Amino acid sequence: MKKRSWLANFLIGPAWIEDRVLYKQAILRGQLGLLIIGICLFYLIVDPLNAIFSFIPWYVAAFFVGTLVIYLNRRGKYAIASSVLLIFANLLVFVIADVGNPERGVFLFFIVTAVTGLVLFYHSNLNLGITFVVVSIVLAMLAYYFDLHLFEQLPDDGKLVQINFTANFILGIASAVLVVLFIIKRNNESEWSLLKKKEELEALTEELQQKNSALEKANKELDSFVYSASHDLRAPLSTLLGLIEVIRITDSTDELPSYLEMMTRRIHDMEGFIKDVTDYARNSRLGLARVQFNLAAFIDKLIVNFDLETTGTGLQITHDIDPEIVVNTDPNRLKVVINNLLNNAIKYFDPGKEKSFVRLSATLEDGDCTLIVEDNGIGIAWEYQDKIFDMFFRATEQSTGSGLGLYILKETLHRIGGRISFQSQPTRGSKFVVEFPAI
């Protein structure tokens, strides 16, 4: 909230006025009330010095009216305050204009009263505003063309006329300046708020576009998910049903173990698929939970979980990660990333090679951790290399996976602010490089 000046506080009171137009009008009304008081005080000194006493009661009355306007303004009685101000100002200008020579410049104040009427009532009661304009014009014409003899005519003393003209001219301009300043400020504010609204709108549009493309992406993913999920779940189920049927009709029990082995593998496939889907769902729903932990110890634990899968294959998983490296990230998400890479390196190992390996290494630099998972497996065919991160994409017939692994990995990595790149040579092996902020 912007702090108001003491003068503004004096003119409109301590209450906060939310509406900018009302606030500016209240300030202007208060300033005009103050100006009336100033003008009266000025003439209360100047007139007696020139032996003019007939207007003194008017000046005194005007002093009270100016005070009343400020009082009403401070109490929030804006319509009454504006009406009192305008009625009295019109009357005062009329009375003085009627008795004096037009060269005294009193008529200038009719311009001010007319414009003030319009400005103070423009937003709340335009008809009343226009009425005040008409009243000012009519009174000006009456005072100019008719001599109503309300008071005794002022003597046409050349020097006095000059003083009157100069004072009225300056005061008239001062009041006009207040009114015009109000209009200019109001205009500036409108333009500024329009500009601000435009900027807000642009930001909102951008946000909307981002949300839209996220929604489009989610929609596409959902489409391919429904398609592939139904296929991936149905295929092992059909195999299982087929195998059950075979078991039912077969007479030989010798084949049973191999049927059971096949059934177990299919169930594992389904289990893997369901695990992938849960990983994906968990990644998109759960918030980040950053923790500080030792990377080498963390990876040791993950590698142990793959022992069962590698026994008998000759595949060796090793790492040479500095035991001093401590990272700060979401361990559950990093686990999904590393597990997926290890899982693939094992799945796509090359049994034809004499020594199959999966090697992990890591460096920590400027708060960023670079983790490398390298294997000498079957590698990825050149033509598929730009697609392996797509949802449900499998680059080889050999894949028994869901084709979700690398897609989930990329999404998960994205949540911890990381990125992945890779190099792979068919028949020679692959190297995946994961980078993520670790402090």
Binding site for ligand ADP (CB under 6 A): 344-345, 347-348, 375, 377-380, 388, 393-396, 399, 401-407, 430
Distance from the Cα of residue 131 to its chain's centroid: 45
Contact 371, 362 (CB under 8 A): yes
Q: What are the backbone angles phi and psi of residue 181, rounded to the nearest 5°?
A: -60, -40
| CB-based contact 416:333 (threshold 8 Å) | yes
- Shortest Cβ 360–ligand ADP spacing (Å): 13
> Running DSSP on this structure, what letter comes out for residue 104?
G
Q: Which residues does 15 contact at the CB level (< 8 Å), separation at least 6?
A: 76
Cα angle value 127/132/136 (rounded, 5°): 150
Residue 271: both structure tokens together: 């289990």
- The residue (of 93 and 406) whose beta carbon lies closer to ligand ADP is 406
Q: How far is the CB of 437 from ligand ADP (least distance, A)?
A: 24
Q: Which helix (H) or strand (E) holds 206?
A: helix 158-249
Q: Tell whether the torsion through CA atoms of 63, 64, 65 and 67 is positive or negative.
A: positive
Least separation in angstroms between CB 271 and ligand ADP: 13
Query: Which residue, 93 or 378, has its beta carbon nearer to ligand ADP?
Result: 378
Judged by DSSP in three states, 198 sits in helix
- Cβ contacts of 161 within 8 Å, gap of 6 or more: 101, 103, 104
Distance CA 110, CA 140 (A): 7
Residue showing the smallest CB distance to ligand ADP in the complex? 401
Q: Hey, which residues does 359 pair with through a beta bridge?
A: 318, 374
Nearest distance from C-beta of residue 429 to ligand ADP, angstroms: 7
Could you tell me the smallest distance in angstroms from the CB atom of residue 211 to ligand ADP?
Answer: 27
Shortest reach from residue 208's CB to ligand ADP, in Å = 32
Residue nearer to ligand ADP on the CB measure, 150 or 381: 381
For ligand ADP, the closer of residues 283 and 430 by Cβ is: 430
Nearer to ligand ADP, 292 or 400 (CB): 400
Q: Which residue number, 329 or 344, has a Cβ lying nearer to ligand ADP?
A: 344
In the complex, minimum distance from the CB of residue 408 to ligand ADP, in angstroms, rounded to a whole number? 8
**What is the chain's Cα-based Rg?**
44
Q: Which is nearer to ligand ADP, 167 or 433 (CB)?
A: 433
Helix intervals (H) in 348-415: 405-415
